[in-house]
């Protein structure tokens, strides 16, 4: 249990030493973009050890921070302000404070900004208000109706219950409860208001594991029992049953009295995952993600702090929850780019999960069918251990993957589906099975062009084309959310009726499918066609129940879903992710297409995957078709090694932005000069840029980038910090630092 007594000794006069020595002083870190804690005086009647949540005055208001240690000095004692109150919340565990320090140091973020992520629900610091409950009273009711008798029978076990629970369980109205209480037949009392988290039952039997699963589960249980930091890569093909395997590790950690954190990339779509957790452990886990309401977040944060919540499944921000007894961290789909947080404090949650595991001295499991090159290299060098699940559960075959050469079998004019894919779709429909069409493009068309003057409709705030959303009748920018009606005439040459949609989006594919197969029941699944997690779950359930023949979607259909009747996956534009010079373009395209392909043929019926490509000879297409992942990874690794790219070298980026382009450019040049002079010749550090970012204008701000590259042995952070500190940023220009960048836009 967490050290719950932050407030012990808060009553005046309890601490005999408090009156004798000099007044105590503490350093308090505040959840603001500040790097250092501030000193405060601690009145003699308050006790606040490191980790205590305290309320302090700052610039005319009061806010809550965390005692970070003893005072740093430097401020005249007479000028120090007093700590106002110590909050009634368990101490922030030392491991969490160390994690905040570590992450701030690595990412160059102010410590206070990282603390803010760990205190994202201020209301959780208030002990919840009590709830009114009832138990049997001393008097018998004067008149015993059937309803009243049911209430008395229910409460005969002596357990106090809130009125709503009594009403539900005894099938009476709450008025019956009130009347009984007024008559003295029930006694009113106040229960502590914390949500009662149901304990997952680690003793429930899981499914019978296949031999490979069973061996992997044994190894993971041993890692949990060892109670030490160790990273294991659970490397299993899609449909191998990785979830069931790491559930065994979860069960072992629970049985050992420890808390568990499971990170998922797209929690909003985790309905199938939650169902499986419920089947294995009998209850729901605590959830943590941005779609939750304030109340649920408050309850989960507090439940984690008090140790009442035993398993949390969450998005990357769950890493900052105040676990006091963490015994296992699982990162599912560890290769997912969604683990990179790109706003505010920029960090890679998979890497930081490993850091948290090291600080907590607990095992970390990374699961994937397509592990990232970073993880693969760590496994090769022996830093991580690898457990393999080479076959699908239940003997299902991996799908056969074929490339469709679009140069040889192009789609008919105005269409996007090639004859081989059309044929396969028709066959699958006739078979009564399901198909997926994958295209990573929302809306109807990615570009609208005037055929009279060649003008392209562009976002006024961003370097981006406006995307047509035909169902909504609008043009939208996917970067800033700008949107407008589709105009009648070209805004440049005023000629009417000449604006034409160029290229396909999922809506346009739906149109083609409708014309080709009018009888097929189709659905579109993208982040903007569904209103939220509930909607998504409903659609997923419909597909699973085979109320949909053809699912058309973007990358959100790639993740984790298990549809028994799905046998055909058509990738409409397999080359899409390869454009642009991103160093991970090939790796990411491979991972994404492999995951999408992995949706096909997960049960008895074999799966088939068609990749429409103009470059079937490309290494990514070859690797997908041949299934030779190892050869592909080795090629990738040696190419990256040759160029000193991650994970064999280090990268960091500075991004400067502002509304005044000249000021941004000047600041970027100044920073480049400082960096070039500072790095010198012998450091091995190279500075590239500044250059206007590919996304040169974003939300009305001009952007310039610098890229810093260094050999792996060089610790970049001290250099970056030193350069940054020498720069005097003009007002209105913002500088972001991205250590280990994943996006180069």
Question: Where along the sequence are the contacts to ligand ADP (CB under 6 A)?
Answer: 207-210, 213, 236, 238-244, 393, 562
Instruction: Work out which of 462, 574, 653, 667 binds Zn ion, going by CB under 5 A.
Output: 462
Instruction: Decide if residue 459 touches Zn ion (CB under 5 A).
Output: yes
Q: Choose the one of ligand ADP, Zn ion, none that binds residue 270, judging by a C-beta under 5 to 8 angstroms depending on kind.
A: none
Strand partners, 550: 435, 522
Give backbone dihedrals phi and psi of 568, rounded to 5 degrees, phi first. Answer: -120, 130
Alpha carbon distance 322, 90 (integer Å): 9
Alpha carbon distance 176, 508 (integer Å): 59
415 Cβ contact list (under 8 Å, min separation 6): 512
CB of 213 to ligand ADP, least distance (A): 6
If the CB atoms of residues 16 and 211 are measured against ligand ADP, the closer one turns out to be 211
Q: Choose the one of ligand ADP, Zn ion, none that binds residue 688, judging by a C-beta under 5 to 8 angstroms depending on kind.
A: none
If the CB atoms of residues 252 and 501 are measured against ligand ADP, the closer one turns out to be 252
If the CB atoms of residues 276 and 455 are measured against ligand ADP, the closer one turns out to be 276
Q: Quick one: which segment of 208-216, 460-468, 521-529, 633-641 binds Zn ion (CB under 5 A)?
A: 460-468
If the CB atoms of residues 234 and 315 are measured against ligand ADP, the closer one turns out to be 234
Query: Residues for the chain: how many in total?
Result: 745
Q: Choose the one of Zn ion, ligand ADP, none that binds residue 210, judging by a C-beta under 5 to 8 angstroms depending on kind.
A: ligand ADP
If the CB atoms of residues 480 and 665 are measured against Zn ion, the closer one turns out to be 480
Q: Note whether 66 and 25 are within 8 A (CB).
A: no
552 Cβ contact list (under 8 Å, min separation 6): 436, 437, 439, 506, 509, 510, 513, 522, 523, 524, 525
CB of 685 to ligand ADP, least distance (A): 41
Q: Choose the one of Zn ion, ligand ADP, none that binds residue 102, judging by a C-beta under 5 to 8 angstroms depending on kind.
A: none
Q: Choose the one of Zn ion, ligand ADP, none that binds residue 462, judging by a C-beta under 5 to 8 angstroms depending on kind.
A: Zn ion
CB of 601 to ligand ADP, least distance (A): 12
If the CB atoms of residues 244 and 266 are measured against ligand ADP, the closer one turns out to be 244
CB of 315 to ligand ADP, least distance (A): 18
Q: Note whether 314 and 246 are within 8 A (CB).
A: no
CB of 482 to Zn ion, least distance (A): 5
If the CB atoms of residues 378 and 448 are measured against Zn ion, the closer one turns out to be 448
Q: Note whether 117 and 170 are within 8 A (CB).
A: no
Measured distance between the N- and C-terminal CA atoms of the chain, rounded to whole angstroms: 46
Alpha carbon distance 219, 363 (integer Å): 11
Element (H, E) at 661: helix 661-679
> β-strands 311-314, 347-348: how paired?
unpaired
Instruction: Decide if residue 695 touches Zn ion (CB under 5 A).
Output: no
Q: Quick one: which segment of 21-29, 342-350, 471-479, 706-714 binds Zn ion (CB under 5 A)?
A: 471-479
Alpha carbon distance 560, 539 (integer Å): 15
CB of 472 to Zn ion, least distance (A): 16
| Structure letter (DSSP) for residue 731 | T
Strand partners, 500: 449
Task: Give me the half-sphere count of Cα atoms (radius 13 Å) on the Cβ side of residue 416.
Answer: 23
Extract the tokens encoding 471. 């169902």
CB of 462 to Zn ion, least distance (A): 3
If the CB atoms of residues 210 and 716 are measured against ligand ADP, the closer one turns out to be 210
Q: Note whether 259 and 310 are within 8 A (CB).
A: yes
If the CB atoms of residues 562 and 673 are measured against ligand ADP, the closer one turns out to be 562
Instruction: Work out which of 263, 271, 326, 477 binds Zn ion, going by CB under 5 A.
Output: 477
Instruction: Work out which of 187, 409, 461, 489 binds Zn ion, going by CB under 5 A.
Output: 461
Instruction: Work out which of 199, 284, 386, 482 binds Zn ion, going by CB under 5 A.
Output: 482
> β-strands 474-476, 447-450: how paired?
unpaired
If the CB atoms of residues 562 and 724 are measured against ligand ADP, the closer one turns out to be 562
> By CB under 5 A, what part of segment 338-367 binds Zn ion?
none
If the CB atoms of residues 332 and 512 are measured against ligand ADP, the closer one turns out to be 332
CB of 697 to Zn ion, least distance (A): 8
Give the binding-site size for Zn ion (rule: CB under 5 A). Answer: 7
550 Cβ contact list (under 8 Å, min separation 6): 425, 429, 434, 435, 436, 437, 513, 517, 520, 521, 522, 523
Q: Choose the one of Zn ion, ligand ADP, none that binds residue 459, judging by a C-beta under 5 to 8 angstroms depending on kind.
A: Zn ion
Give backbone dihedrals phi and psi of 652, rounded to 5 degrees, phi first. Answer: -145, 155
Q: Choose the one of Zn ion, ligand ADP, none that binds residue 240, judging by a C-beta under 5 to 8 angstroms depending on kind.
A: ligand ADP
Task: Give me the half-sphere count of Cα atoms (radius 13 Å) on the Cβ side of residue 42.
Answer: 27
Give the distance from CA 550 to its chain's centroid.
28
Verify cis geometry, omega within 30 degrees of 0, for the bond prior to 690. Answer: yes
CB of 564 to ligand ADP, least distance (A): 8
Residue 91, phi-psi category: left (phi > 0), alpha (psi -120 to 50), beta (remainder): beta
If the CB atoms of residues 482 and 517 are measured against Zn ion, the closer one turns out to be 482
CB of 247 to ligand ADP, least distance (A): 9
Instruction: Compute how many other C-beta atoms are within 10 angstroms of the C-beta atom of residue 573.
Output: 19
Q: Choose the one of Zn ion, ligand ADP, none that binds residue 241, judging by a C-beta under 5 to 8 angstroms depending on kind.
A: ligand ADP
Q: Choose the one of Zn ion, ligand ADP, none that binds residue 461, judging by a C-beta under 5 to 8 angstroms depending on kind.
A: Zn ion
If the CB atoms of residues 422 and 594 are measured against ligand ADP, the closer one turns out to be 594
Instruction: Decide if residue 10 touches Zn ion (CB under 5 A).
Output: no
Extract the tokens encoding 208. 């019978």
Alpha carbon distance 194, 687 (integer Å): 53
By beta carbon distance, the residue nearest ligand ADP is 241
Rg of the chain on CA atoms, in Å: 29
Q: Choose the one of ligand ADP, Zn ion, none that binds residue 213, judging by a C-beta under 5 to 8 angstroms depending on kind.
A: ligand ADP
Q: Choose the one of ligand ADP, Zn ion, none that binds residue 484, judging by a C-beta under 5 to 8 angstroms depending on kind.
A: none
Inter-residue long-range contacts of 143-146, CB under 8 Å, 24+ positions, other chains counted:
145/176
If the CB atoms of residues 304 and 401 are measured against ligand ADP, the closer one turns out to be 401
Alpha carbon distance 176, 241 (integer Å): 50
If the CB atoms of residues 152 and 252 are measured against ligand ADP, the closer one turns out to be 252
| Structure letter (DSSP) for residue 338 | G
Instruction: Work out which of 135, 388, 474, 479 binds Zn ion, going by CB under 5 A.
Output: 479
Query: What are the residues binding Zn ion (CB under 5 A)?
Result: 459, 461-462, 477, 479-480, 482
């Amino acid at each position: 249990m967490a050290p719950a007594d932050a407030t012990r000794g808060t009553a005046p006069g309890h601490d005999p030493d408090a009156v004798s020595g000099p007044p105590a002083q503490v350093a308090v870190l505040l959840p603001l973009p500040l790097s250092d804690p501030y000193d405060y005086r601690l009145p003699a009647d308050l006790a606040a050890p490191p980790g205590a949540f305290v309320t302090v005055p700052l610039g005319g208001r009061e806010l809550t921070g965390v005692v970070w240690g003893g005072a740093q000095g430097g401020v005249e004692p007479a000028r120090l302000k007093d700590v106002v109150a110590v909050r009634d919340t368990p101490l922030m565990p030392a491991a969490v404070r160390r994690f905040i320090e570590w992450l701030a140091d690595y990412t160059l973020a102010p410590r206070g900004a990282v603390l803010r992520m760990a205190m994202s629900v201020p209301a959780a610091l208030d002990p919840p208000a009590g709830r009114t409950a009832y138990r049997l009273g001393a008097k018998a009711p004067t008149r015993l109706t059937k309803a009243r008798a049911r209430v008395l029978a229910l409460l005969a076990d002596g357990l106090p219950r809130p009125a709503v629970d009594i009403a539900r369980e005894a099938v009476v109205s709450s008025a019956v409860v009130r009347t009984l209480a007024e008559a003295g037949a029930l006694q009113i009392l106040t229960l502590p208001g914390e949500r009662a988290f149901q304990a997952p039952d680690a003793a429930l039997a899981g499914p019978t594991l296949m031999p490979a699963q069973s061996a992997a589960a044994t190894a993971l249980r041993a890692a949990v029992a060892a109670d030490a930091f160790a990273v294991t890569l659970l490397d299993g093909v899609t449909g191998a049953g990785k979830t069931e395997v790491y559930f065994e590790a979860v069960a072992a950690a629970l049985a050992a009295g420890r808390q568990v954190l499971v990170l998922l990339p797209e929690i909003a779509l985790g309905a199938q995952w939650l169902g499986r957790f419920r089947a294995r452990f009998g209850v729901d886990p605590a959830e943590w993600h941005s779609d939750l309401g304030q109340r649920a977040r408050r309850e989960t944060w507090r439940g984690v702090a008090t140790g009442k919540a035993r398993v949390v499944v969450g998005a990357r921000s769950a890493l900052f929850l105040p676990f006091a007894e963490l015994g296992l961290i699982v990162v599912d789909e560890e290769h997912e780019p969604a683990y990179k947080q790109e706003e505010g404090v920029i960090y890679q949650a998979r890497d930081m999960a490993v850091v948290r595991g090291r600080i907590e001295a607990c095992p970390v499991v990374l699961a994937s069918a397509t592990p990232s090159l970073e993880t693969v290299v760590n496994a090769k060098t022996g830093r991580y251990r690898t457990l393999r699940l080479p076959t699908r559960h239940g003997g299902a075959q991996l799908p056969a993957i074929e490339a469709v050469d679009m140069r040889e079998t192009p789609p008919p004019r105005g269409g996007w589906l090639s004859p081989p894919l059309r044929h396969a779709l028709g066959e699958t429909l006739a078979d009564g099975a399901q198909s997926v069409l994958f295209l990573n493009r929302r809306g109807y068309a990615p570009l609208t062009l005037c055929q009279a003057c060649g003008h392209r409709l562009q976002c006024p705030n961003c370097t981006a084309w406006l995307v047509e959303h035909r169902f909504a009748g609008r043009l939208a920018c996917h970067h800033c959310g700008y949107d407008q009606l589709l105009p009648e005439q070209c805004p440049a040459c005023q000629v009417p009726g000449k604006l034409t949609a160029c290229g396909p989006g999922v809506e346009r594919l739906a149109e083609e499918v409708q014309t080709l197969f009018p009888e097929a029941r189709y659905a579109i699944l993208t982040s903007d066609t569904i209103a939220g997690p509930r909607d998504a779950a409903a659609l997923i359930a419909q597909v699973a129940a085979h109320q949909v023949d053809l699912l058309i979607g973007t990358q959100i259909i790639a993740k984790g879903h298990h549809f028994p009747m799905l046998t055909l996956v058509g990738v409409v534009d397999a080359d899409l992710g390869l454009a642009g010079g991103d160093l991970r373009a090939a790796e990411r395209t491979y991972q994404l297409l492999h995951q999408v392909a992995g949706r096909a043929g997960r049960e008895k019926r074999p799966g088939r995957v068609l990749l429409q490509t103009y470059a079937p000879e490309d290494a990514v297409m070859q690797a997908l078709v041949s299934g030779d992942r190892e050869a592909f990874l080795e090629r990738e690794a040696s190419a990256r090694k040759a160029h000193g790219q991650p994970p064999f070298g280090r990268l960091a980026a500075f991004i400067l932005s502002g509304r005044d382009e000249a000021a941004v450019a000047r600041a970027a040049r100044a920073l480049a000069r400082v960096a070039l002079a500072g790095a010198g010749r012998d450091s091995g550090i190279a500075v590239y840029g500044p250059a206007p970012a590919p996304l040169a204008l974003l939300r009305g701000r001009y952007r310039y980038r610098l890229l810093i590259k260094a050999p792996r042995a060089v610790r970049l952070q001290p250099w970056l910090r030193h350069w940054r500190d020498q720069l005097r940023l003009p007002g209105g220009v913002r500088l972001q630092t991205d250590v280990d960048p994943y996006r180069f836009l």
